[in-house]
Chain A
C-alpha cells in the first residue's frame, strides 16, 4: 500500500533556512545541509528546498548549495524558487534534485509545464500553487505569484486541473492564509484540489498539531503533508509524527 508522505520544507535565504508567518517576519531556523541530512536520516519521506529569494537562475551559489544538500539526502529531493525556464530544471536535476517545483513561471507561461514534462518526465514536474481565499466568495481561492506578493484572478482549482493536463506530475498546494500560523491546514482548499485532479497533492501551510496533519491527510485527501516550523523548531520529531499518524489510521512508512 502506498503510504502518505511527511515532507519537511527548507525555505532558504542567504544560505540559511528561515521561516516566517504568512510569508513575512522571517526568522533563522538552521543550516540547510545539516537539516537536510538530519531529516533524511530521521525518516522523512521527501525533502523540499525552496529558494525564497528566487535566485536560482542567476546565482551559482544556490546550485552549489543544492549540490551540497543533495550529497547527503537519500530521499526524493524537490527544489524550487525562481525557476523560469526548462533549461534550469535540467541544471538542477544534474545538481542532484529529483523534482523541480515551478510557480510564477508557470502562471506567466503555462507551456513551461508541458515542455519540462516532455524533456524530463512528468514525475519531476511539480506545480507549486500559493492560494489565497478570495474575500467575499465562499469556497473560492485565487492563485498568487512572486512568493505570494502578487494576486492574480486565476482560480486555484481550475489552474490545478489545467496544470495536470499540461503535464505536471504533482501539485504542491500552499495556503497563504494558513502558512506559518501553525493553526492547521486549509482542509477545504486541499480537498477541493485533490478531488479535482488525479495527480498527487502535497498539502502545505498551517501545520501545527499532529491532529492537523491527520486531518488534512484524511479529510483533506492529501497524498502528502509539507511542514516546516514544527520540525525545524523541534515541536515534533519525524518519528513522533509518524507514530501518531499510524495510531490514527494513516498509512505511513515506518521509521
Chain B
C-alpha cells in the first residue's frame, strides 16, 4: 500500500486518480499510523510552499523519521519543494531538509511569462530510477513560479530550461521529487508513477 499524504493543501484528487488508473493500491491519509504502515509515501501540494509548510508542520517529524528509516518518498510540485532546506516564497520558511538546496523565484527579468506554465522538456541524469524506460528526456507538465536551487552532491538531478537551467526532478537515496506534475503528464508521467511504485515494491 502507498499513501498520499493529505495535509490540506490543494488537490490530491488528480494524484489519486492517476495512481488508481495505473492499478496501484493507494490510500489518502494524514494519520501517522497509516503513514507508518505504507510501503511508500507521496507528498503532493499546490499553491505557496510557505503556506504548505505551515500546514504540514504537525506531521513534519513523522515524514522526516519515515524518510530517515529509508521509506521511499515522492514529492510532487510544492511537495517536491518542501523536500529542500528552505523556501523564500512569501517570507523565509524552513522546509523538511531532506535534500540540500533552497526554493527561490524564477527570475522575472528575462521577459518570460510567470508562472512557468505548460509542457517543458526535462533532460534526465544518467540512471535515475524515476525515469527508467523513458530515454534521455521527455516533456512534462509544469505550473510553478518558484524552483529549487540544488546544492546537494549526493543527489541526481533532471533539468529543464526556462531562461535558466531549472531543476525538474531529484533523486537522493529513497527521496524522490518532481517539480512537474507526473499525474498530469500523460503516458510519460504515468510511467514515472509506475516507476515509483516499482521502487516501493523493490524496497519491501
A: which residues have CB within 8 A of B? 1-5, 40, 43, 45-46, 67, 70-72, 74-77, 93-98, 119-124, 169-170, 198-200, 223-224, 253-254
Contacts and interface: CB of A to CB of B under 8 A. Distances in A.
Contacts of A124: 10-11, 46-47, 143
B11 A169 contact: no
Interface stretch (B14-22, B32-40, B68-76, B148-156): B14-22
B13 A122 contact: no
Q: Is the contact region of chain B dominated by helix, strand, or loop, or is it mixed?
A: mixed
Interface in B159-204: 161-162, 181, 183-187, 189-190
Interface of B: 10-14, 17-18, 20-21, 46-48, 78, 108, 112-121, 139, 141-145, 161-162, 181, 183-187, 189-190
Contacts, number: 115
Contact of B120 (A3, A40, A70, A121): A3
B73 to A, nearest CB: 22
A198 B114 contact: yes
A200 B113 contact: yes
B112, B183, B184, B185: residue with the most chain A Cβ atoms closer than 10 Å: B184
A239 to B, nearest CB: 13
Contacts of A223: 113, 117-118
B6 to A, nearest CB: 10
Nearest to A224: B118
11 contacts: A1-B161, A3-B118, A70-B17, A71-B21, A74-B184, A98-B14, A98-B184, A123-B47, A123-B143, A169-B143, A224-B118
Contacts of B162: 2
B10 A2 contact: no
Contact of A75 (B11, B116, B141, B142): B141
